[in-house]
Structures are given as C-alpha cells and as structure tokens.
Chains A and B, each alone.
Chain A
Amino acid sequence: VSGTVINANFVDAIALPRIVWLRPNLIGLAFPLMKLLPARFIIRKALEKGELKPGALIAETTSGTFGLALAMVARLQGHPLFLVSDPAIDPPLKRRLEDLGATVHIVEKTGASGGYQGARLEVLEKVLADNPGSFCPRQYTNPNNPASYAPCAEQLAHATGGIDCLVGTVGSGGSVCGISSYLRLMFPELNVVGVDTHRSVIFGQSDAGGGRMLRGLGNSLMPQNVDHTAFDLVHWVGAAEAFRATRELHREHALFVGPTSGAAYMVADWWARENPDHLTAVVLPDEGYRYQDTVYDDAWLAAQGAVIDRLPEQPVEWDRPQDGDDPWAFFRWGRRSYADVMSEANKLQLSAR
C-alpha cells in the first residue's frame, strides 16, 4: 500500500486497509472494500489452476460487498459475471454492479430451506449447470477466501510487530479466521474475538423468528469456512447497538464506515478497555457510502425502532449461546469445535429446564 508506487489497477491500489489508532491500545484496519482481497485471490487461483478459463462466466450468490468486489475484479479481468441476490439488495448497489457489467438476478421467493439464501443457491446451481466452463467462487466454502488475507496479516506484522487480540465480525469465516490463522503461526497466544448477531446460526443461535436487521455479518446457513476453533470469545451484537457504534466511530474518529465496522468496534473498544496492556486490532470491512440513507439517516433509524440513547457499557455474559436475547452478550467459546460447544450447551439448557 505504499503511496509511492503506481498500482497496476484500482483493485490493487485499495485492497489493503489503512491502519489507524483508535485508542492507545487499539488500532483499526479500515478497508475501503475488504472483500476485494478474497475476490482477487479466488479469481487469481482459479485462473492458475485452470478452473476458470480466461473470459469465462463467473456466477455467485451474494447481496453484499463480495458481489461488488467480484464485479470490480471480473470487469478488470474481462469476465462476464452473474450474481444472484434477493430483494434486500439496495438499488444503488444493484445499479453499481450493473454499471460494472454484472447481470443481477433477484429471487422473489424464499427457498425450500435456508430462507432467501436457499432460493438463491437453487438459481445459482442452475446457472452453473447451464453454462459449461463457468466458475463459482463460493466464498463460504472456498479455502482461498480465508487464505487471501495473508497480505493483511503481513501488513499488521510489519506495522505492529504483533498484536494481542484480533476482533472482527463473522459472516463467511474469511477475514477473522484467515488473518488469525497466519498471525498465530508467529503469535500462537493471539486472542481472537468473533462478532456475530442474534438469529445467526454461526455460533449456535437459531435463525427462526424473523430476519436480522443487521446485515453483513452472521448467516442463516453454516459457512464451511468458519473455523470455530479459532475463537476465544464470541459476541452477539444487536442492530441498534451496532448502528449507534457506527455513528460514534464517525463522530469521534471521522471514520465513515458501515455497520459491521460499528459492531466490531463496540466489541473491540470494550476488549481494549478491559485489557489496557494489550494491543488490539479491529477489522472495519467497508465504507459508509452504502449506508447514507439508512445507518447515517436519523429518520430511518427511528422508523426502524433502532435508536438507543447510549451504548451499553458492558456485554452480558452467557453460559450458553443458543437461546439468549440480550442486545449485547458474549460467550467464552474457548477455541472449541462447534460440536463440543453445542453438546455442552444443550446439557446446560436441559438442566436449566
């Protein structure tokens, strides 16, 4: 990211984050568009292995920033792109994707299972089957998604000489699992804190009972790329809290970022306050422009009932992840597998009844 070189293209120029101090012991990794790292690396590796031929179709299901990153990379590399999305996609993003040459297909009904995501997967598989030679990046299962974060780990290692704690939101398992896998080669004691949201299945909650207002983290299906054994702590953050923290990042630090950044920042700020002798880094995955009419609009926040006067000082500690609903909670995951945690949690749930 040296400002003294002329980059080959805009993706290379902005793929890595800017690193900024947020507290004396907390640094932010402010990505313009974090998903450029996996999009670029997955495409590069697929071309190297011959899974993707030059100029062949790329198809993927996404309603978020991975689609935008893919569209930028595909445009620069000369690949047509087919994206399957749901009605939650915001119109400006859809227009931007189409301007980059992508075909955006919106599914109107939820699938047989897994909500909209299930329906999107059904369309995706049909497009892939109908187009021989097409390639699907599959960010939730492709190991090159987490593997793509080595340049970010390099930047952190060179800039800091090592951190004590990494905090980030978990959606596909790419960024936090990827960065921490590399850093732990050199710093096995590194603490890893994952940030999820309620009614996401990633760390054991059920997705029943309504959708999630906070987007860009969490999942209704379990992503294979989530390595549960990476996590020391898991936090669940509600939408109102995340939105408020996003605005505070802007007001206090002039950091104009999206709501996943706010959720991660709230948790990281708490961890840094609790551990003043440790250096924490927090992943801030995207910029605020997409959210000007939502998170950055007080009227929209009020209409959603997502206004709170102040952030909670402390999270509530849960003894099991599956049935809590406190707006900000955490659980000591302890680098265990999902199966280990859930079997213990289910015993606790039974004994509580």
Chain B
Amino acid sequence: MHSAAATLLDTRPRTAATERRPVPSLFPASTTTVQQAGYGRVHAHHGEILQGMFYSGDGTLEHGLVTLPCGLYGTRARFRPLRSGPLTVEPRDRPRARVAARLTLDALGRRGWGGSIRIAGNVPLRWGCGSSTTDVLSTIRAVADAFGQVLEPEWIARLSVAAETASDSLMYPPEQAVLFGQRRGSLLQDLGGPLPRVQVLGFNTEIEGTETLSLPPIAYSVWEIEAFQPILGLLRRAVDQHDASLLGRVATASTEINQRHRPKPLIPQLLRVAKEIGALGTQVAHSGTVAGFLLQPGDDVPGRVRHAQAALARLGVHRSWEFSNDLSSQPELVP
C-alpha cells in the first residue's frame, strides 16, 4: 500500500524506480489492485521570469515561458475511482479538471471509468499564478496515483494542454527549470538545473485580476523575437553559474518587453523602486496581475523589504508577501 506522502512527488527529486516509466497504451486492469483513492498535489507559481517566442530545434518559432515557482500557494486533489458511473468534480466549477481526469483515465486504459474528484487549494484566481493549471495537474496526478502510476512530466504536459488549451510548466519539479511551450505543452529547453535561488517580495498590481486563458498570443516585433535569444542566453548563464543577479536582469528585460504589449499599471514606478531598494530585478505574471522584486538571499533582505513596502504603500499597494523560489527551504504551506 502506498502512503499519502508518497504521492507528493511534485516537489522532490524523482527516484530511479519512477523516473522513466512510460505510460502503457492500455493498462492491464486485472493485474493491479485499484487503490481506494489517489492523491495529487502541486505548488503554484508567481508568474514568469521570462516569456516570449523562441526558436525550437528545427528553427520554427514557439511561444514559451519560464515560471517562478512559489510554494506559498498550491492545490491538492483526491480521486476515488469507480469502475463505471459518472465522473464528478468538486467544487463543480472546475470543468477543466474533469476533462483532465477523463483524458487521464483514457490514457491509462480506463475508458468508461468514473469516480469522484475533490479539489482544494489556496491559489488565487486570475492573478496569473497558475490556478487553473494546478487544478488540472493535481487532478491528473491523483487519477494516475489511484492506479499506482507516476506520469512523466512530458505526458502530464500533453494531458494538461489537451484539457485547457494552454498550460504552465508546473508538472516539472523546481529542481528542473525548463523553457516550456505553453501552447503545445512542449519542452523547448531543459535549462539543466534549478533557477538561482532568490528571495521574492510579491504583490499585486491590480485588484481585479485577469482572465488569463482568454488572452490572445502577443504579436511580437521581429526585433523583440530576436531579443529573446540573448535573454535566454543570459538565463542559461544564470542557471549554469547559479547567478541570481543575472536572473534579475532576465526578469526585468522580459517585464519591459511585455509592458510594450500588455501594459500594466505602475510598472515604470515599480522598476524605479526596484532600483532604489537594490533589487536584482522585477518579474511579472505576463498574463496576470502579480509582480515581484527579486532579492539576493542574505543581502539585507529585511531592510530592502521594509524599504520596498514603504515605496509600495506610496503607490497604493498595501499587501505584499515574501517567499523563496527554493521550495525545499520553506515550510509546507499548501493546505
């Protein structure tokens, strides 16, 4: 029997036993004991470090992004399978999770199965923190877990995109930063390690939020599309050298390009504040409303945070939160 803890695989390095297990095209139902329930859990992100268009291996251009993991928010799902009958989701306003559960059952060779999915979490809606994706991913994991399966990120990505038209890269663990093609669910580039560790002071630039899935893709200029190459080059350097200051420069550059197309309130002021407080850079949810100042861990973070909070208050932003992108160093806050 597995324990619930064994299902929390998303934030841990994978073990050798689970690492390369392919999804069978038809799962032999008779040879496996069906668990009573499966569990899945996934942390959220805090928008992106980088979002733009990138050349894939064959020279074609694809929309891609690199997210900033955030352990403050997360979603868990429980799936109780039934050999036949309806497939229900609670809360009932998560149709994408239901679609994802159905697709996963089909992929596991459990066509016609039903069951009940229960989703709980604290990811704010419409902030650009991946709330919809966390519903879908935790559901996919819970369904797979009910049949003793741990799916590869590549498989989860395909199921997730099929369920919600665009997906974030949260199926990849934070130890493996990736450039992710959110429209096709494709891995554009494995950056070869985690993002450099940064402390983040996050906040919201708008109260209302944005409906992220309804946004059309940005039509970047030729120069901008080309500019994503050197930005990605610097990001690879930041990962290779564990250089947080370069990560900050990447985030600010991406924020500035995004601002030309999807202008957010306060960004010019926020970029000035980032300079004043000695932040490494400013990141935003490119299709959302959260933003964050990236700070060098250990470099007078409390002082810079106080300074930043005072400046934010003058701009009318009165709520902020702090987190590290190194999820292993944080207390588990996901409910």
Contacts and interface: CB of A to CB of B under 8 A. Distances in A.
A161 B247 CA distance: 10
A182 B236 CA distance: 16
Q: Which residue among B226, B227, B232, B253 has the maximum number of chain A CB atoms within 10 Å of its CB? A: B226
A158 B237 CA distance: 5
A45 B231 CA distance: 21
Given A161-B243, A162-B249, A154 B223 contact: no
Nearest to A158: B233
A159 B234 CA distance: 9
Interface in B189-230: 222-223, 226-227, 229-230
Interface stretch (A116-124, A143-151, A286-294): A143-151
A156 B236 CA distance: 12
A187 interface: yes
Contact of A147 (B223, B246, B250, B257): B223
B237 A150 contact: no
Contact of A154 (B222, B229, B249): B229
A147 B238 CA distance: 24
Contacts, number: 61
A154 B232 contact: yes
B250 A158 contact: no
B230 A162 contact: no
Interface residues of A, number: 22
B326 interface: no
B106 interface: no
Contact of B229 (A151, A161, A187): A151
B169 to A, nearest CB: 21
A187 B237 CA distance: 14
Interface in A120-163: 143-144, 147-148, 150-151, 153-159, 161-162
A161 B236 CA distance: 9
B241 interface: yes
A158 B223 contact: no
A150 B226 contact: yes
B233 A154 contact: yes
A172 interface: no
Given A147-B222, A158-B236, A186 B229 contact: no
B57 to A, nearest CB: 10
B234 A157 contact: yes
Contacts of B253: 185-186
Contacts of B252: 186
B164 interface: no
A181 interface: yes
B279 to A, nearest CB: 15
B231 A186 contact: yes
Most chain B Cβ neighbours within 10 Å, of A144, A148, A162:
A162
A159 B230 CA distance: 11
Contact of B230 (A143, A148, A182): A182
Interface string A61-84: 000000000000000000000000
30 contacts: A45-B222, A144-B222, A147-B223, A147-B226, A148-B226, A150-B229, A153-B229, A154-B232, A154-B233, A157-B234, A157-B237, A158-B233, A158-B234, A158-B236, A159-B237, A161-B238, A181-B223, A182-B227, A182-B230, A183-B230, A185-B230, A185-B231, A185-B256, A186-B230, A186-B231, A186-B249, A186-B250, A186-B252, A186-B253, A187-B249
Closest 3 CB pairs of A and B: A150-B226, A154-B233, A158-B233
